[in-house]
Structure 1
Amino acid sequence: MIQRPRGTRDFFPDELEERRGVEETLRRAVSQWGYREVATPEFEHLELFTIRSGEGIIGEMYAFQDKGGRDLSLRPELTAPVLRMYVNEAKVLNRPVRWYYFGDCFRYERPQKGRYRQFWQFGIELIGADTAQADAEVIAVGSDLLTSAGVTFELRVGHLSMMKSLIADLEPDTQKKVMACLDKRDYGALQTVLPEGDLAERLTALIESRNLDDAFAITGSIPEEARIRETFALLDAHEVPYTQYFGIARGLDYYTGCVFEAFAENLGAENQIMGGGAYRLAHLFGGEDTPSCGFAIGFDRVMVSRGDQGVPRPLTVALVVTPEGRLAGIGAAAAFRRAGVRTLADLTGKSLSAQLSYAAKHADYAVVIGGREAESGMVTLRDLGSGDQETVSVEEAVLRVVSGGSC
């Protein structure tokens, strides 16, 4: 028996229908903000990902050479491919460009709850706007999407300029050590890295502050202060629930301004479900230096966090026929399908009672056609919820099912 590769999954119909339902919910929600979908190849030139993150990430990627000796990789994330697409083909579009994506990515890492080697991301990129309004919109969209997907989460919003202002005078190697300590919340190690002065205490106080006045009392006035205050005021106007958090340490060499993360329930210790912020990547791929802001949502984590919520089953009719009614049943089933109703038909010659038993488990209505119904051109429509039934024409049966009318 050949097993599926480690870190991948098979999806049975119930689970896949739930995933598709949540995916469609996210698509509807993001389109209401004016974002439109784009898609990129599942493999790209390896350089697209190493040019920013360095050769060290290759060990975490599915990298390979094609038959022409070109270095390629399955995509480990989607922001870089989308920005590559923008630089290649969309620089002439009016800005800002509002794009969203949904696709699978691949990373060679240890599988764990909600974390796989093949996983799916849903995200947006707002390209070409460098304003507080743009930052606030992206954060508001992320909050809206998670809420629409039925996720309970905590959203933390900060701005990297505040932390950067405190460590600006440190040597680059020391900055990296400091950020590693802050990322792990290892304040003891931070005191070891910064044994002199009060910088360690000021960094710790900044991370623990939960309002702008306290944070700026620690950092002092900085050039970005007005924009930061405006961003939070706009978030309040969007009615986004969030926590001010100025201790986001990851991505310091990637993000350029506002940063935000969301943490969800039911995910254990690795509970981050969304991350994003303002960044500049286009110039690395041969384009102009272009401000951008975006986020990625771990779709698999969304599904784990939702628990057993499920999604409503599509309206379903089961055809229940005797041998005499089988031909008439084909026409009746076609009428329901033309009306957009999922219609199940028996293919194995089960008895009438066995067909009804199956219908009770998988459908909302049973359409019964025996010899009498076939001769009269009628069907017996049974509401499997209430048990009510009535003999009507095919057209009337379709109308009642579609409109939700009782038998």
Structure 2
Amino acid sequence: MEQKLIHTPDGVRDVYGTELRAKKITEKKIIERFRMYGYKEIETPAFEYFDIFSNEIGTTPSRELYKFFDKEGDTLVLRPDFTPSIARCASKYFLEADEEVRLCYRGRAYNNTLSLQGKLKETTQVGAELINDGSADADADVIAMVIETMKEIGFTDFTVSIGQVDFFKGLCDEAGLDDEDIAKLREQISVKNYFGAAEFLSEHNVSQKIQDLLLRSGDVLDADELNALINETENERSKKALLRLKEVYELMQLHGLEQYVSIDLGMLSKFHYYTGLIFKAYTYGAGDAVVKGGRYDGLLEKFGKEAPAIGCVFLLDDIMSALNALGLICEEEVIPEIIEYSDADREEAFKKIAAIRASGKPAYGRHCRK
């Protein structure tokens, strides 16, 4: 029993010393970059009513939530991600706002899932949400901010993959697939199991042309291949999605950041609230994306405000692992100066300690009885 008391539960860990200092410095750099883009920081509760993250809103499955009851019998959950909380908050405090709203946040998120093999169940997230702007310029602005922030925190070799969930959804509608079928196909394509996806589509009597286009949704395209796919696509919803993707890519060229961007139609987020553009940032030293985001134009409507929105989240724990693996954490531990003193020279020691601190260096006293 005594040994158990000093250990943490599975999926959480203690962070301290130079590791924590480096993490806090990186977190601050991200927030400061957000502020340079006009974002204002907001705090939301660590736990919310269950309905904020229910299946109707399309976020984390109920079985993967940390749930508990308050004294009134209401079901509460620890937030699994921030976006629904920010959407609720924006709908409450910015209901009448017509101009764009730029909010950023930092804090912990919690996922109680067995599928995160070796992953933390409590993670630190730093993110931003741009509300009331449904333009391609807003999409490009958020992606540009992600790229500039990645550079700011030390990464030089990384890629931001952009995709469009409406391309996939439009083809599924044309194929006549129901929600259950779409979820199964989404899983196959997300893990790049194209043989399984092809077999699944054949079993559901999907036309060969639509099959070919759906399987193309797993491709990584350049600008010329995207144009060719636009010409091949007849489905209005899917074609519109590709044209929007082309527009965003052209805007990234105007930003001078297209070298960091790739087009990946195989990205299909587990969060069902995404409605259009989605993106992920990848770098060496991390097994998965270190930044995720996308457009969620229908989410705020769930809370009473009709407004387009797009957001991003930096997964700080994964970012720190990547920075460490790449040798990009150069923060050295600052050793405080220790001033020993006795009863007789206490006043002099206090003055000396204060002077050291005033110079910007750490120091503390150690009383030695003589």
**Which interval holds the TM-score relative to the shorter structure?**
0.7 to 0.9
Q: CA deviation at 1:252?
A: 7.7
What is the CA deviation profile of residues 33-71 of structure 1, one whole-angstrom value per residue up to 9, with x for unaligned ones? 111110001110001100535698221111011111011
Query: Match of 1:25, SS?
Result: helix
User: Displacement of 1:250 after TM fit?
Assistant: 2.6
For residues 313-341 of structure 1, the C-alpha deviation after alignment (integer angstroms, 9 at most, x for no partner) is 587762556657653231132134345x1
- One of 154, 163, 166 as aligned partner of 1:158: 163
Is the partner of 1:52 in helix, strand or coil?
Answer: coil
**Is 1:273 the counterpart of 2:287 in the alignment?**
no
For the residue of structure 1 that corresponds to 2:366, the secondary structure is: coil
Match of 1:309 in 2: 328
State how 1:280-359 maps to structure 2 within 5 Å. Answer: 280-285=298-303, 287-307=304-324, 308-313=327-332, 318=337, 320=339, 326-339=346-359, 341-347=360-366, 349=368
3-state SS of 2:38 partner: coil
Distance 1:205-1:314 versus aligned 2 partners, 3 A rule = same
The residue type paired with residue 193 of structure 2 is: D
* Inter-CA distance 55–102: structure 2 relative to 1 (3 Å threshold): closer
Q: What letter corresponds to residue 278 of structure 2 in structure 1?
A: V
2:191 alignment partner in structure 1: 184
Query: C-alpha deviations, 1:140-178, integer Å up to 9, x for none?
Result: 112222222224432101222323332222221433332
Secondary structure at the counterpart of residue 362 of structure 2:
strand
1:362 match: none
Contact 2:286–2:322 under 8 Å retained in 1: yes
Which AA in structure 1 matches 2:261? Y
Higher relative contact order structure (alpha carbons within 8 Å, sequence separation ≥ 6): 2
Give the Cα–Cα distance (whole angstroms) in 2 for the partners of residues 156 and 325 of structure 1: 63
1:146 equivalenced with 2:172 (yes/no): no
Say whether the 8 Å CA contact 1:205–1:218 is kept in structure 2. no
Supply the distance in 2 between the matched residues of 1:159 and 1:33 (Cα, whole angstroms): 24
Q: Aligned pair in 2 of structure 1 residues 253, 318: CA closer, same or farther (>3 Å)? A: closer
Of the three residues 257, 271, 296, the one matched with 2:276 is 257
Superposed CA offset, 1:327-363 (max 9, x none): 3231132134345x13213415499xxxxxxxxxxxx
Larger CA deviation: 123-132 vs 216-225: 216-225
Query: How big is the shift at 1:311?
Result: 4.6
Alignment of 1:192-271 (within 5 A): 192-195=199-202, 196=205, 197-198=207-208, 199-208=210-219, 209-211=221-223, 212-220=226-234, 222-224=239-241, 226-240=243-257, 241-251=260-270, 253-268=272-287, 271=288
1:248 Cα offset (Å): 1.4
Q: What SS does the aligned partner of 1:31 have?
A: helix
Q: 2:14 aligns with which of 7, 10, 18?
A: 10
Range that drifts further, 130-139 or 188-197: 188-197
In 1, Cα distance between the equivalents of 2:125 and 2:74? 26
State the alpha-carbon separation in 1 of the partners of residues 106 and 44 from structure 2. Answer: 10
SS in 2 for 1:342: coil
Change (3 A) 1:327 1:158: same
**Structure 2 SS opposite 1:168:** helix
**Equivalent in 29, 33, 39 of residue 37 of structure 2:** 33
Question: Which of 170, 173, 195 is the aligned partner of 1:168?
Answer: 173
Letter aligned with residue 332 of structure 1 = K
User: Which amino acid is the alignment partner of residue 354 of structure 2?
Assistant: A
Question: Which amino acid in 1 is paired with 2:177?
Answer: E
Q: Indicate the RMSD between aligned Cα atoms, in angstroms.
A: 2.6
**Distance in 2, Cα, partners of 1:242 & 1:350:** 64
In structure 2, what is the Cα distance between the partners aligned to 1:135 and 1:55?
21
Separation in structure 2 between the aligned mates of residue 57 and residue 91 of structure 1, nearest angstrom? 28
Task: Supply the AA of the counterpart residue of 2:305.
Answer: E
Query: Once the two structures are superposed, what CA deviation does each residue of 1:200-253 show, in whole Å capped at 9, x if it has no partner?
Result: 222223432333213213324733555333211111122321111112123584
Q: Which amino acid aligns with 1:6?
A: D
Q: Give yes or no for contact 1:128–1:290 (8 Å, CA) kept in 2.
A: yes
1:88-127 to structure 2, matched below 5 A, reads 88-93=92-97, 95-110=99-114, 112-113=117-118, 115-127=119-131
Quickly say closer, same or farther: Cα 1:55–1:129, change in 2 above 3 A.
Answer: closer
Q: Does 1:47 align with 2:51?
A: yes
Task: Summarize deviations over 1:267-291 as a string: whole Å, max 9, x none.
Answer: 33xx121211111211112x12210
- In 1, Cα distance between equivalents of 2:264 and 2:255: 18
Tell me whether 1:24 sits opposite 2:28 in the alignment. yes
How far apart in 1 are the matches of 2:37 and 2:309? 17
Which position in structure 1 is the counterpart of 2:133? 129
Amino acid at match of 2:168: M
CA distance in 2, matches of 1:44, 1:87: 15
Which residue type is aligned with residue 131 of structure 1?
Answer: S
Structure 2: where are the runs of 5+ without partners? none
Task: Tell me, in whole angstroms, the C-alpha distance in 1 between the residues paired with 2:91 and 2:59.
Answer: 23
